[in-house]
């Protein structure tokens, strides 16, 4: 899905560095009501929406002479389609309308296209669907303006038959059923496919529930969806997200300072918004300018995880990366990470041992960020190390540090003075798994710690099932961030970054290229690097997740999704940063 903003005010909003709000259907309806009260009428909003669709057609095809078939539904979505068709016809397109139901004589937009002599056919006059099939097969662009964002019931009857007929023709006319569904980086768009017809959905594909993401079996997958004012939550939930295609956010004229929009707590990250979060790199910089990052990671069984995190931190721009690792894996890491410095930690059979906290804590003094977790393993002794590290090595008694009788907040509050504070912290991978096996782990974490779980790790931290976590990822991440008082990066398609302030940001990428071992270690290294540069925790998490996902999209475009390895990603992170001027 390529995220675009065609209209000037929408583009200005994004280019100005803000993220885009993601709304529910009810919130969008409230925005429209408030827009109407502000002096932009519903008819003007419809005119603007139709213009946005017409503009989108101009981006995928030469308008003059383009054969455009518009499927028109009975409501406002159909009205948007009528406006778009009129504008396209006025620009020289060969437009044809196919109405699922007749529209009344009092429909001004319908009357205008009739007066222009644009060919129009009503489904009732084509009972076998033969004319529909012929029109679909001969079209260059097919516009789905049947059902809008308010549709939430199963599609039945004549409309079901209409969509089934269209789907059959599209399947027969295409070598492939549609675009690959991975979101494509707004930094480097991929070409629009040349196969026809290109399917464009108005606001959403008909049959997509724009709140839940449920998708009707007869829904027609779009190559491009033109949504209005704000993306809708259901466009980023599966299975519906598979039918959205590339996503265009078009302006309908609503003022930028609407109270309803300001109250929305869910946003979508954009390339320009992330660019403005990232620090610049001044000409008079030295390595200290870009932060000192320490990474406590690795074990004999998972040497590569530490290497991936360290390389990613450097490629994301860290000035100095120090690897705090078991001495048993120093040699292979040093061979791979020539730029890194090392702190060698005590270990038992290649896994970090409990006493390593006393080595790591003084070594971490003066560092700007600390990443703990990639490849640590889940040995009990490593869990004791993590607890002692988080507690500032305040207690030496194994009974107090053990998992059976974990230290609680009261023990921390009564700890001896002079304990060592940790740098800004990222906890990833086995660090999260070890936390989940502790009691009262929330009390040990410094404020504004960044936690980066995948759904399985999130389920362990919450004591819930993976299914519960994945059913509503945004809500789960947002609630956990508030409950824990930490920044949560819930990884996966459309990664969610949630803050303790009840805000959540979606990363606009769903890319199977990132579903590979070690990808999360790269993400953790990138976030740690940005945190080390002095970025606030939520900003570092959003920017890091975006850069990582954009790198995956770049890698997939060059290599192919199936062939991307985690080791490819750090280089692409650097390439995306370069394209952003950072």
Mean pLDDT over residues 57-63, rounded? 93
Which of 139, 213, 200, 202 lies closest to 173 in space, CA to CA? Answer: 139
Q: What is the pLDDT of residue 233?
A: 96
Q: What is the pLDDT of residue 104?
A: 85
Going from N- to C-terminal start, the domains of the chain cover 8-171+197-234+244-264, 274-579
3-state secondary structure 112-179: HHHHHCCCEEEHHHCCCCHHHHHHHHHCCEEEEECCCCCCCCCCCHHHHHHHHHHHHHHHHHCCCCCC
pTM over the 0.75 mark = yes
pLDDT at 396 over 60: no
CA 464/CA 456 separation, integer angstroms: 9
pLDDT at 369 over 50: yes
Q: What pLDDT, in 10s, does the model give residues 204-224?
A: 999 999 999 999 999 999 999
HSE-CB at 423 with a 13 A cutoff on CA atoms is: 27
Judge whether 182 and 245 are in contact, CB under 8 Å.
no
Helix axes 569-579 and 537-559, enclosed angle (nearest 10): 110
CA 540/CA 370 separation, integer angstroms: 13
Q: What pLDDT, in 10s, does the model give residues 527-558?
A: 999 999 999 999 999 999 999 999 999 999 99
DSSP 562-578: GG--GGGHHHHHHHHHH
Residue 263: pLDDT band by 50, 70, 90 thresholds?
very high
CA of residue 135 relative to chain centroid, distance: 36
Q: What is the pLDDT of residue 266?
A: 97
Classify residue 151 as exposed, middle or buried by CB count within 10 Å of its CB (0-12, 13-18, 19+): buried
Residue 394: pLDDT band by 50, 70, 90 thresholds?
low
Q: What pLDDT, in 10s, does the model give residues 435-486?
A: 999 988 999 999 999 999 999 999 999 999 999 999 999 999 999 999 999 9
Q: What is the pLDDT of residue 10?
A: 52
Backbone angles phi, psi at 97, to 5 degrees: -105, 140
Q: What is the pLDDT of residue 410?
A: 39
Mean pLDDT over residues 160-189, rounded? 65
Q: Give me the sheet containing 292-296, strands edge to edge.
A: 20-21, 266-268, 504-506, 496-498, 487-490, 450-452, 425-428, 369-372, 292-296, 320-326, 341-345
- Superfamily of domain 274-579 in CATH is Ribokinase (3.40.1190.20)
pLDDT at 227 over 90: yes
Q: What is the mean pLDDT of the chain?
A: 89
pLDDT at 252 over 80: yes
pLDDT at 184 over 80: no
pLDDT at 145 over 90: yes
Q: What is the pLDDT of residue 186?
A: 43
Q: What is the pLDDT of residue 4?
A: 55
Q: Which two tokens stand for residue 377?
A: 């393993």
Q: What is the pLDDT of residue 182?
A: 38
Q: What pLDDT, in 10s, does the model give residues 306-335?
A: 999 999 999 999 999 999 999 999 999 999
Report the percent of the chain where pLDDT is more than 70: 88
Which of 224, 222, 206, 226 lies closest to 53 in space, CA to CA? Answer: 226
Q: Which two tokens stand for residue 242?
A: 């598979």
Report the percent of the chain where pLDDT is more than 90: 83
Mean pLDDT over residues 347-357, rounded? 93
Q: Which two tokens stand for residue 533?
A: 């540069």
List CB contacts of 301: < 8 A, sequence separation 6 or more. Answer: 350, 375, 377
CATH number of 8-171+197-234+244-264: 3.40.50.10260
Lowest mean pLDDT among 57-61, 420-424, 470-474: 420-424
pLDDT at 192 over 50: no
pLDDT at 422 over 80: yes
Residue 140: pLDDT band by 50, 70, 90 thresholds?
very high
């Amino acid at each position: 899905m390529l995220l675009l903003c065609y209209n000037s005010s929408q583009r200005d909003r994004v280019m100005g560095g803000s993220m885009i709000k993601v709304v529910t259907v009810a919130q969008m309806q409230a925005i429209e009501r408030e827009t109407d009260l502000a002096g932009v009428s519903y008819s003007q909003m419809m005119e603007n929406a139709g213009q946005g669709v017409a503009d989108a057609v101009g981006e995928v095809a030469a308008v003059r002479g383009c054969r455009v078939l518009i499927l028109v539904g009975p409501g406002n979505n159909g009205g948007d389609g009528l406006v778009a068709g009129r504008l396209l016809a006025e620009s020289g397109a060969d437009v044809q309308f196919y109405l699922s139901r007749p529209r009344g004589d009092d429909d001004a937009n319908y009357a205008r296209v009739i007066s222009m002599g644009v060919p129009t056919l009503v489904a009732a006059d084509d009972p076998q669907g033969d004319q529909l099939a012929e029109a679909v097969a001969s079209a260059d662009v097919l516009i789905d303006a049947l059902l809008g964002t308010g549709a939430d019931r199963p599609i039945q009857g004549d409309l079901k038959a209409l969509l089934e007929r269209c789907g059959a023709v599209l399947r027969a006319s295409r070598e492939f059923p549609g675009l690959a569904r991975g979101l494509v980086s707004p930094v480097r768009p991929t070409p629009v496919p040349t196969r026809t017809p290109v399917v464009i959905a108005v606001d959403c594909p008909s049959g997509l529930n724009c709140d839940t993401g449920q998708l009707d079996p007869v829904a027609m997958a779009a190559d491009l969806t033109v949504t209005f004012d704000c993306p809708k939550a259901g466009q980023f939930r599966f299975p519906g997200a598979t039918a959205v295609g590339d996503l265009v956010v078009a302006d309908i004229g609503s003022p930028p300072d609407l109270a309803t929009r300001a109250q929305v707590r869910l946003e979508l990250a954009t390339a320009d918004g992330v660019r403005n979060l990232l620090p610049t790199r001044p000409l008079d910089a030295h390595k200290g300018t870009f932060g000192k990052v320490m990474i406590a990671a690795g074990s004999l069984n998972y040497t590569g995880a530490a290497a991936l995190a360290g390389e990613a931190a450097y490629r994301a721009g860290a000035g100095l990366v120090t690897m705090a690792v078991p001495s048993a894996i120093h040699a292979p890491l040093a061979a791979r990470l020539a730029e890194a410095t090392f702190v060698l930690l005590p270990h038992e059979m290649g896994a970090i041992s409990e006493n390593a906290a006393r080595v790591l804590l003084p070594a971490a003094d003066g560092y700007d960020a600390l990443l703990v977790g990639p490849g640590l393993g889940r040995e009990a002794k490593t869990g004791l190390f993590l607890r002692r590290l988080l507690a500032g090595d305040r207690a030496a008694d194994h009974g107090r540090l053990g998992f059976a009788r974990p230290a609680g907040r009261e023990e921390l509050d009564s700890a001896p003075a002079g304990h060592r504070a940790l740098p800004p912290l990222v906890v990833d991978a086995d660090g999260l798994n070890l936390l989940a096996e502790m009691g009262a782990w929330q009390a040990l974490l410094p404020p504004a710690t960044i936690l980066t779980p995948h759904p399985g790790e999130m389920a362990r931290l919450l004591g819930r099932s993976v299914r519960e976590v994945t059913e509503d990822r945004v809500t789960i991440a947002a609630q956990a961030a508030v409950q824990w008082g930490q920044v949560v990066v819930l990884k996966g398609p459309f990664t969610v970054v949630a803050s303790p302030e009840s805000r959540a940001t979606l990363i606009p990428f769903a890319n199977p290229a990132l579903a590979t071992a070690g990808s999360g270690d790269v993400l953790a290294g990138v976030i740690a690097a940005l945190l080390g540069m002095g970025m606030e925790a939520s900003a570092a998490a959003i920017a890091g997740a975006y850069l990582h996902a954009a790198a995956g999209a770049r890698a997939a475009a060059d290599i192919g999704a199936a062939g991307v390895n985690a080791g490819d990603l750090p280089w692409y992170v650097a390439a995306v940063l370069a394209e952003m001027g950072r």
